[in-house]
Structure 1
Amino acid sequence: MPSLRRRLEHSPAAAGALARLAGGYLWLCNRTIRWEVEGLEELKADLADGPVLLVMWHGRLLMAPYHWPLSDGQLTSLYARSPVGRVAGALHRQMGYTPMEMSDRSSNIAQSRAILKRVKEGASIGMTADGPTGPAFEVKDAPLEWARVMQRPVWCYSFETSGGRKLDSWDDMWLPKPFGSGRAVFRRWEAEVPRKVDAEALERLRSGMKGLLDSIY
């Protein structure tokens, strides 16, 4: 029998079935938790002017699609061919988003062109800063590169709930519990990423993005 990991990595049907189960649970959490959402109106104001880049820590990605204001702007979520990535991609597709698979082992030139086409059509990009394999809480090159290419506002996201548990995973993923209270935060990263950036400036930008993500974690 193939392992669950292999089935999720190679079978859209398996990923879709698990996404429906996970989606039902997260929908219940979203509906029964008393949410306080910060920064949403400011985010909507930016979306009225065009797409944005949404960035979060991998361990706080579960509730992002439930808090994103889909009626104010489409979102193209980027995911990797990992079990969590495939399930997340299937879940986002079921919710009306447009997920796109990216490889962490080979060139993504064709996919990047397709994503940029989506951006030109008005769709925002959502991605994890430290995914898909970590190290946890370290900003990789990808979000900085997309910020450089897009030349659009960058927003950071996180959430916390009064009930839930931290999973035994590389990213310390937080699984919320239904009911209780919760806080979701959208905060704009007030930094400009120029089209041409040297290594020293890139590290300053990396540190700044990490600082903001950590501050709302």
Structure 2
Amino acid sequence: MSKRIFDRIKLFLYPLLFYILNNISNKWTRTEVYGKEKLEGLSGDTPLLYAFWHGKLWLPVYYFRGLDYLVLSSLSRDGEYMTRVLKRYGYQIIRGSSSRGGSRALLALIKEIKKGNSAFITPDGPTGPVYKVKPGIIYLQEKTGVPIVPLGVAIKHKKVFNSWDRLNFPLPGTRAVMIFGELLEFKPDSCSIEERAVLLEEALNRVQKKAEELLEIKYSG
């Protein structure tokens, strides 16, 4: 079998297996959601930027399925795999990354958010450093005026993969917690983009720590 044919098989098979496993594992996970009432004062068509760490994406990918949310996916091979998974869940995909097509992708994302579409962002993606907010999401918030919702996602019994993002995979029958943090609305003239990134990083770490404390597990940040 030629490498080209093998690559095509992987391109079809890997996303399909990820999708099936994500579905099954989320059904065997007892996920508790807290803090969603923080969004109740908003009008139904208010767009939001949901932010969570890349390694915690296993549960949110399933939770936000079917809502037509926007996702920025890198132009790498891994990004192509993830794009195919997310499309099965009904997400709108914009391709680009910090190294290739990033500026065009951000502009496209801004345009779609201004139309009223919500998005979810992993601020330390697509390649890390882990648990460090990159400025892209702050730039998005500045240009759109859309609130950021930090999410904490914790799993009691899990497999932590040896990947840059320390991807968390729930083991059968485990309990999990997802917490919606306080909405963040930064004013552009309040401080620099770098300082706002630090504030978001601190907010993400706080809500992540709270989620892990509810499960009585050691904070991973």
| TM-score bucket (shorter structure) | 0.7 to 0.9
TM-score, normalised to structure 2, is 0.81
Q: 1:42 aligns with which of 25, 38, 41?
A: 38
Give the alignment of 1:20-169 within 5 angstroms: 20-43=16-39, 45-46=41-42, 48-68=44-64, 70-71=66-67, 74-169=68-163
Q: How far apart, CA to CA, are the structure 2 residues paired with 1:57 and 1:92?
A: 17
Deviations 1:41-71 (A, max 9, x none): 4336536142111111111112212222745
Deviations 1:155-176 (A, max 9, x none): 1123222221110011111111
TM-score, normalised to structure 1, is 0.83
Q: Secondary structure at the match of 2:82?
A: helix
- Residues 1:47 and 1:155: Cα distance change in structure 2 (over 3 Å): farther
| Gapped regions of structure 1 (runs ≥ 5) | none
**Quick check: 1:79–1:127 contact (8 Å CA) kept in 2?**
no
Q: In the TM superposition, what is the alpha-carbon distance from 1:113 to its structure 2 partner?
A: 3.6
Q: Which moved more, 1:87-96 or 1:61-70?
A: 61-70
Q: How far apart, CA to CA, are the structure 2 residues paired with 1:113 and 1:211?
A: 26
Q: In the TM superposition, what is the alpha-carbon distance from 1:216 to its structure 2 partner?
A: 2.5
Q: 2:205 aligns with which of 191, 209, 214?
A: 214
Q: Secondary structure at the match of 1:63?
A: helix
RMSD, aligned CA: 2.6
| Gapped regions of structure 2 (runs ≥ 5) | 209-221
Deviations 1:87-129 (A, max 9, x none): 2221110011111111322444443343233223321121111
Alignment identity in percent? 22
